Amino acid sequence: MERKLKVYIYREGEKPIFHQPKMRGIYASEGWFMRLMEGSKRFIVKDPKKAHLFYLPFSSQMLRANISNNKQMEQYLERYVNLIAGRYRFWNRTGGADHFLVACHDWASRITVQSMKNCIRSLCNANFAKGFQVGKDTTLPVTYIHSVMNPLRKIAGKPPSERIILAFFAGGMHGYLRPILLKHWENKEPDMKIFGQMARDAEGKRIYMEYMNSSRYCICARGYEVHTPRIVEAIFSECVPVIISDNYVPPFFEVLKWETFSVFVRESDVPSLRDILLSIPEKKYLALHLGVKKVQQHFLWHKIPVKFDLFHMILHSIWNNRLSQMRLK
């Protein structure tokens, strides 16, 4: 990919929705990708005729911040597509199939499903029951960035021998699943640390990270939508992610063997969660923990991208899906 792939970025589109990455917060993945993609000297070409892929550089977060109506957001993107389709020949050549977008807001999957339906969509909200197309679309990991200057500062972890808590979860009661999780496991077993929303101050954040660093398994339960930043948080903390989100498509599943560093539990099996985790042999847990450490490199942002990091993984997944589409024709 590094030797062959070339990407053209459309200049069209006005700030703050286009060409203005937001690099902090829960939707930071789309902003980091935009910043690194637009600053790339390796992949970007100025001549669109030399490009294999075409990037649509808009921020779904900024679109939502500036236009609150769902229908109006769809119309805004439709006008943009009509603009580039009328100005360039490349969109009409493939119907947008060699174009891609990277969007992390919950609503991105809905507002792009019409005007950008043929594009490769890299989405945080990767719900295969609600329009996410496996083989065309790709999953964008949710990375909650607290510091733009130091995006890696939260990485830490204790060895398995010091992880005395079986499982940990803390979070707001978003969606239908988390109240069920608390109903069955809050204050039920001493080795199951299952809480609601923790304090958002410095002390609350410190306690949250201490629990993650001291737990064998970190519960990544879906909220309003299928995705959650806890998966990447768990990986950073060397805590084995336990993903409870039935219709979620995990990132980079084409190249990463998720069964070697995570556990998937069906939503209907929440009442049996502790038994499921206790049934995992010690040897298997140690292998999962080692697997988490091995894949950390693939979920890290760097100001200057390095091989196999998150920027390269996202771009590779997009390029891989485009190649797969071409082989099927």
What span, in angstroms and rounded, lies between the C-alpha atoms of 248 and 43?
30
Query: What integer pLDDT is reported at residue 155 of this predicted model?
Result: 65
Q: What is the pLDDT of residue 83?
A: 97
pLDDT at residue 43, rounded to an integer:
97
Tokens for 215, please give them: 């737990």
Q: Tell me, what's the pLDDT at 147? A: 81
Quote the pLDDT of residue 328. Answer: 75
Q: What is the pLDDT of residue 199?
A: 94
Residues 6+ apart with CB under 8 A from 56: 10, 80, 99, 100, 101, 116, 119
CA 82 – CA 87 distance, rounded (Å): 8
Per-residue pLDDT at 113: 94
Task: Please give the C-alpha separations between residue 19 and each of 54, 105, 106, 232, 286, in angstroms, as whole numbers.
Answer: 14, 16, 20, 26, 44
Mean pLDDT per 10-residue interval, the chain, length 329 residues: 91 96 96 97 96 98 94 97 97 97 97 96 97 97 87 75 97 97 97 96 93 97 97 96 98 97 98 98 98 96 95 98 86
Separation CA 34–CA 18 (nearest Å)? 10
List the one residue out of 67, 3, 61 whose CA is nearest residue 33: 61
Cβ distance 57 to 9 under 8 Å? yes
Q: Does this model's pTM top 0.85?
A: yes
Residue 152: predicted pLDDT: 64
pLDDT of residue 314: 98
Beta strand 53-55 with 7-9 is parallel
Distance separating alpha carbons of residues 142 and 144, to the nearest angstrom: 6
HSE-up (13 A, CA, CB side) for residue 33: 33
